[in-house]
A and B are shown apart, each in its own frame.
Chain A
Amino acid sequence: MAGAVFSKNARSGLLMVSPPFIYAVALLAVPLGAIVLFSFWTQDYLTLITEPTLANYREAWDNPLYGELLQRSLWIAAAATAVTVVLAFPIAYFVSFHVRPERKSLWLFLITIPFWTSYLIRVFLWKVILGFNGVLNTSLQGLGLIEEPLTFILYNANAVVITLAHAFAPFAILPIFVALERIDRSLLEAGRDLGETTLMTFWRVTLPLAMPGVVAAVLIVFIPTIGDYVTPRLVGGPEGSMIANMIQVQFLRLNNAPMGAALAVIAMASVSALALLFVWLNRRFLRVKQ
């Protein structure tokens, strides 16, 4: 060990981790840097002007279309995250507390299967389910529950939220489940022995201890949803389109890669800022409670 900068163990470890690390640097860190760099360039038809400028960001700030789109995207992503996590929590709780240990992995497997299967077609089927003559409306009309087809569930933000809540379900369930599994069951017994009701035990013991899982679930749903352009495009209609749709259009149709890059940077920065704010608020909130 003496003489070397790193121990033998450390050198072997670095050597072992270097292929995936170099790969991640080359195909993730460098391209991300490139996109930031690119966002300060401009493009005149097909020629790229490499003079650094804030023109794209000024354009994004001045044109109300972009601001509106970003605001709406963040709002939809937040709503979808809230719906996903709130719907997912009882399932994670059910599997962790009410399913026999040997059946738990079967439940988790059942929950993850739909997530792995044909994403495009799944999103498309939500259009079929939620449409004017869709599965939901015809079934509800058939049952005599509604007279007229419901129209507030397709081609708007609601449809996007429902579809995203479906697509990201396992991402929310699994981290919450893991956090719930870690809870020492004797703490709950202690709570009840000390005279708390089941509900209060849940509120004062289970929920705070499950919070790291909930925070992880929120982040792992919120951050990627902002980048989905398939769901808004297929079920969102004009009112439900999101920033990712605009990024895609800038790159692939308007051929204005620098503007697309600037929008991508802005979207990432906003999402990261909100995610950090959420984590910070949560820490603060939990510390006060303890």
Chain B
Amino acid sequence: MSLRTYAVAYLIFLYLPIFLLPLFAFNDSTIIAFPLDGFTFRWFGELWTTPALHDAVQNSVFIALVTAVFSTILGICAARAGAKYDFPLKRSILGLIMVPLVLPEIIVGVSLLVVVVQLFDWSLSTWTVIAAHVLICTPFSIAILNGAFQNIDTSLEEAALDLGETPVSTFRLVTLPLVMPGIISSLLISFTISLDEFIIAFFLTGAEPTMPVYIWGLLRFPQQLPAVMALGTILVVLSIVLLVIAEYFRRKGLARAGLKDKGGFL
């Protein structure tokens, strides 16, 4: 077996669930199994008439938007500090910020739950989910933004300063445009991660469920499954669109920095 055949087989393995999703979403049967029964749009129609779902989607989109903004801002600080400055304990500090990348998500979820509910006796809300999502999205933002910040030619910034710009206006006029594609890519990726995150949200969500928490509830009811498949199909299409845009901007950013693409977000 040649390596290429294996690679193709592996891609099929990776894409198998995603290929099956639309098959069941358009299948005119309440049972999620083969053989398929005929074509229908009714599961999509059902989504349209479920107000609880709309609330969950709204809630999740809000969480994802706020998360994307905050984690990108924190990511900019860390990536900038890492690229431009030398300071004591640099590796340990940046290492700690990156820890959520490898930490089991359940640990993040339960540890924040303990602090919020048991120690402070606050109530869970949309904001507790946002706080946790910012924590886990920041390392991804940093990974993306590192590429953008590390390759800024410092002589450009020095030139601006020599020509009388303040540090703030230099950042706005010179640095920001150079790293803008990275920022957009980071916003899109953190938005996608937050929108899809379940394990932490399940622990920290308050009275208003996020979309994945809502989907988790539906998975227990067999009659709801076709609608879940329809919802999943929409989400897959949406996230692929977002990722393609993110990838476009990431590459544009690399091109702007005059770099060869090494590929991959991580």
Q: A interface vs B, CB < 8 Å?
A: 6, 9-14, 16-21, 23-25, 27-32, 34-35, 38, 48, 87, 90-91, 93-95, 98, 104-105, 107-114, 116-122, 124-126, 128-129, 131, 133-135, 138-139, 166, 169-171, 174-175, 177-178, 181, 219-220, 223-230, 234, 244, 247-248, 251-252, 257, 260-261, 264, 267-268, 271
Contact = CB atoms under 8 A, between A and B. Distances in A.
Contacts of A177: 263-264
A139 B23 CA distance: 15
B179 to A, nearest CB: 14
Contacts of B35: 138
Classify the secondary structure of A's interface with B. Answer: helix
A261 B112 CA distance: 11
A32 B111 contact: yes
Contacts of B261: 104-105
B196 A119 contact: yes
B107 to A, nearest CB: 6
Contacts of B163: none
Given A94-B4, A111-B14, A16 B85 contact: yes
Contacts of A267: 104
A181 B264 CA distance: 12
Contact of B20 (A94, A116, A128, A175): A128
Contacts of B102: 219-220, 223-224
Contacts of A131: 33
B48 interface: no
B235 A117 contact: yes
A113 B243 contact: yes
A223 B104 contact: yes
Given A34-B119, A120-B212, A129-B20, A264 B107 contact: yes
A228 B107 CA distance: 10
Given A94-B3, A223-B102, A34 B114 contact: yes
B135 A27 contact: yes
Given A23-B74, A87-B10, A117-B235, A126 B17 contact: yes
B155 to A, nearest CB: 17
A91 B7 CA distance: 6
Contacts of B135: 23-24, 27-28
